[in-house]
């Protein structure tokens, strides 16, 4: 990993951890550290920090890592993690929910339910932050973040704070035009009037369905590959005989074969190599080259045990 000299990292009111662990909190629980793990105190703090930061230093936001493989060599530069002060939620007129970028999807969905706002129930099933959902255009059950987002507030890499209407985010399937190095610090979502009991029942249904079909208690990264147009990635993976396939300490989930698992001692290289094996087997079997949905970040260090 490149070594930054101390003067290139400006001071901030939050915290800066050199070599801060990402494996401690990301869902896969493996991979290398951040060169600098930064937790800003508030938007002004983040903005001042980024405007003073050497433009050559890469900046990468992370949420709770429910869609991340962090490579074993770690992440050069600054990794931004939004602390609890960025997790506030407020209900606004017109069935709107304003959420900090660090607020969890389930908390946003629950606040909407309590306020009688329907349409945000799907966020109950996505175990990431509002910022991650805006960036990934996270979705489930036929709805996605683009359907409910009114606008998002970003702190750009140079420290400027801007509020972008959803239309400017160039949404498509699991993709947005959130610029590289920009941090989503707030999102304004809109729903429609609904009945609290009915919304709650739908959220319970989603939770039960997830529990039955996904390895929720495992070290995983969610859906590994995007669904190709008109197809389901899991079906292609199953048909190619990859269910349960292992490499080093990593395995294709038996329960849902578009999920990869860290069985306990997997390196990030094991997990990524297993994903590439799956892609190759699916290509050979069906002619479809699956596209990664999981974001792979950081540097390799060649430590695969497989
Ligand atoms: C059990 C399980 C089930 C899942 N089910 C679904 C599902 O049904 N549908 C679905 O779409 N996804 C699903 N996922 C994947 C994942 O939850 C989503 O992609 C989620 O939006 C990621 O949020 P996160 O905060 O964990 O982001 P991370 O995984 O930490 O990061 C993902 C990407 O978003 C960027 N990012 C994170 N926070 C910010 C921010 N504040 N500003 C700018 N960029 C940011 C990161 O740089 C990275 O590129 C599932 C994952 C798991 C583990």
Give yes or no: residues 93 and 142 share one domain: yes
208 is a domain residue: no
Give yes or no: residues 150 and 197 share one domain: yes
Beta carbons within 10 angstroms of residue 105's beta carbon = 26
Best residue among 127, 143, 176, 253 to mutate for probing ligand 1, ranked by most atoms within 8 Å of CB: 127
Q: CATH number of the domain at 42, please.
A: 3.30.43.10
Give yes or no: residues 97 and 197 share one domain: yes
Q: Please indicate whether residue 174 is annotated as part of the active site.
A: yes
Residue 96: what are its φ and ψ, rounded to 5°? -115, 150
Q: Please indicate whether residue 124 is annotated as part of the active site.
A: no
Measured in Å, residue 134 CA sits from the centre of ligand 1 at 9
Cα 169 to Cα 119, 137, 174, 175, 178: the distances in Å are 20, 10, 12, 9, 6
61 C-beta closer than 6 A to ligand 1:
yes
Q: CATH number of the domain at 145, please.
A: 3.30.465.10
Give yes or no: residues 227 and 279 share one domain: yes
The first and second tokens of residue 152, run together, are 């998002």
Mean pLDDT of the chain: 95
65 C-beta closer than 6 A to ligand 1:
yes
From first to last of its 306 residues, the chain has per-residue pLDDT tens of: 544 445 478 889 999 999 999 999 999 999 999 999 999 999 999 999 999 999 999 999 999 999 999 999 999 999 999 999 999 999 999 999 999 999 999 999 999 999 999 999 999 999 999 999 999 999 998 999 999 999 999 999 999 999 999 999 999 999 999 999 999 999 999 999 999 999 999 999 999 999 999 999 999 999 999 999 999 999 999 999 999 999 999 999 999 999 999 999 999 999 999 999 999 999 999 999 999 999 999 999 854 444
Give yes or no: residues 181 and 168 share one domain: yes
Please name the residues in contact with 275: beta carbons below 8 A apart, sequence gap of 6 or more.
69, 224, 225, 260, 292, 294
301 is a domain residue: no
Give yes or no: residues 96 and 169 share one domain: yes
**Packing angle of the helix pair 105-114, 196-213 (nearest 10 deg):** 150
Total structural domains in the chain? 3
Measured in Å, residue 129 CA sits from the centre of ligand 1 at 7
Catalytic residue (choose from 39, 98, 124, 174): 174
Task: Give the pLDDT score at 90.
Answer: 98
| Bridge partners, 262 (sequence order) | 219, 250
Give yes or no: residues 128 and 30 share one domain: no
Give yes or no: residues 66 and 113 share one domain: no
Give yes or no: residues 197 and 92 share one domain: yes
Q: Any alpha helices (H) in 9-100, and if so which ranges?
A: 43-52
137 is a domain residue: yes
Do β-strands 75-81 and 34-39 pair in parallel, antiparallel, or remain unpaired? parallel
91 is a domain residue: yes
31 C-beta closer than 6 A to ligand 1:
no
Give yes or no: residues 78 and 90 share one domain: no
Q: Which of 103, 83, 1 is nearest to 42 (CA)?
A: 83
Q: CATH number of the domain at 253, please.
A: 3.90.78.10
Task: Give the pLDDT score at 302.
Answer: 56
Residue nearest to atom 2 of ligand 1 (CA): 222
Task: Give the pLDDT score at 306.
Answer: 40
Strands (DSSP E) found in 3-49: 15-18, 34-39
Task: Give the pLDDT score at 1.
Answer: 55
183 C-beta closer than 6 A to ligand 1:
yes
Q: Please indicate whether residue 246 is annotated as part of the active site.
A: no
Residue nearest to atom 50 of ligand 1 (CA): 222
Domain interval for residue 56: 13-83
Task: Give the pLDDT score at 56.
Answer: 94
Measured in Å, residue 64 CA sits from the centre of ligand 1 at 7
Beta carbons within 10 angstroms of residue 195's beta carbon = 11
Residue nearest to atom 14 of ligand 1 (CA): 222
Please name the residues in contact with 152: beta carbons below 8 A apart, sequence gap of 6 or more.
134, 163, 164, 166, 169, 178, 184, 186, 187, 188
Give yes or no: residues 110 and 197 share one domain: yes
Measured in Å, residue 13 CA sits from the centre of ligand 1 at 27
- Local structure of residue 9 (DSSP, 8 states): S
């Amino acid at each position: 990993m490149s070594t930054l000299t101390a003067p290139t990292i400006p001071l901030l009111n939050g915290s800066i951890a050199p070599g801060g662990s990402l494996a401690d909190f990301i869902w896969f629980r493996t991979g290398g550290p951040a060169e600098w793990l930064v937790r800003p105190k508030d938007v002004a703090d983040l903005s001042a920090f980024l405007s003073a930061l050497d433009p050559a230093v890469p900046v990468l936001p992370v949420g709770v890592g429910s869609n991340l493989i962090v490579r074993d060599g770690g992440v050069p530069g600054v990794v931004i993690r939004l602390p609890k002060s960025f997790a506030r939620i407020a209900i606004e007129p017109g069935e709107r929910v304003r959420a900090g970028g660090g607020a969890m999807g389930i908390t946003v969905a629950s606040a909407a339910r309590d306020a009688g706002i329907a349409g945000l129930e799907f966020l109950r099933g996505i175990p990431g932050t509002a910022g991650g959902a805006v960036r990934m255009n996270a979705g489930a059950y036929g709805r996605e973040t683009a359907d409910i987002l009114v606008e998002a507030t970003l702190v750009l890499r140079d420290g400027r704070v801007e509020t972008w209407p959803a239309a400017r985010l160039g949404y498509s399937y699991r993709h947005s035009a959130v610029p590289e190095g920009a941090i989503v610090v707030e999102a304004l979502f809109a729903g429609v009037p609904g009945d609290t009991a009915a919304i709650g029942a739908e959220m319970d249904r989603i939770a039960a369905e997830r529990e039955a079909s996904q390895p929720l208690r495992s070290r995983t990264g969610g859906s590994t590959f995007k669904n190709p147009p008109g197809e389901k990635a899991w079906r292609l993976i199953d048909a190619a005989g990859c269910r349960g396939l292992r490499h080093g300490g990593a395995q294709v989930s038996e329960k849902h074969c578009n999920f990869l698992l860290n069985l306990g001692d997997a390196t990030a290289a094991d997990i990524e190599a297993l994903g590439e094996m799956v892609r190759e087997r699916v290509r050979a079997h069906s002619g479809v080259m699956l596209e990664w949905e999981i974001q792979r970040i950081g540097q390799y260090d060649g430590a695969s045990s497989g």
